[in-house]
Amino acid sequence: MRCPYCGNDDTQVKDSRPTEDSAAIRRRRICNACGGRFTTFERVQLRDLIVVKKSGRKVPFDREKLARSVTTALRKRAVEPERAERMISGVVRQLESLGDVEITSEQIGEFVMEGLKGLDDVAFVRFASVYKNFSAANDFRSFLTELGEAEEISASEDDV
């Protein structure tokens, strides 16, 4: 494993343990050249996924890009990083279990929105504003109105 600080290939694992959801192994490492400490995660990858963009372009799925977008939506929100990581892992598992190597960016967006909805309402709306390309305040208003109507329908179905 290459050190993120100095680029040296000679690093040593100091501690390994499973993550809370046991979906990955967390490894604490130290660089033998500069002494820098860092953490890596080892995860099972069922298949190499390809993302089909709206333009039709195909790119390899990048879990880190997904994590960055979720982290951006959750910025300055009181959500523990472990909960966010579990949500991201859940989204990746859903994508891998679809059974298809090619997935659309829309599928990813919908799974992330569903995950964020259960995690934090503000992060959900932040992500939706970028994903759905809101351009005016009315876009927010319409989205929140639709969301409220959908929740009212869901709540009335629960009463039945």
Is the same domain home to 128 and 75? yes
- Give the percent of the chain with pLDDT over 70: 90
Is the same domain home to 35 and 87? no
Residue 67 is inside which H or E element, if any?
Answer: helix 63-73
Give domain status of residue 146, yes or no.
no
Residue pLDDT, tens place only, 116-149: 988 998 898 888 888 777 777 777 778 777 777 6
Asked whether the predicted pLDDT for residue 68 surpasses 80, the reply is yes
Distance (Å, whole) CA 68 – CA 45: 19
Question: Helix or strand or coil: residue 33?
Answer: coil
Distance (Å, whole) CA 23 – CA 137: 40
Please state the rounded mean pLDDT for residues 4-14.
93
Say if residues 39 and 26 touch (Cβ distance below 8 Å).
Answer: yes
Nearest to 60 by CA among 46, 49, 47: 49
Task: Check residue 8 and give its pLDDT.
Answer: 92
Nearest to 24 by CA among 73, 120, 103, 93: 93
pLDDT higher for 144 or 105? 105
Place of tokens 């179905």: 157
Give the residue numbers spanning the domain of 106: 45-132
Is the same domain home to 87 and 28? no
Residue pLDDT, tens place only, 38-53: 999 887 765 689 999 9
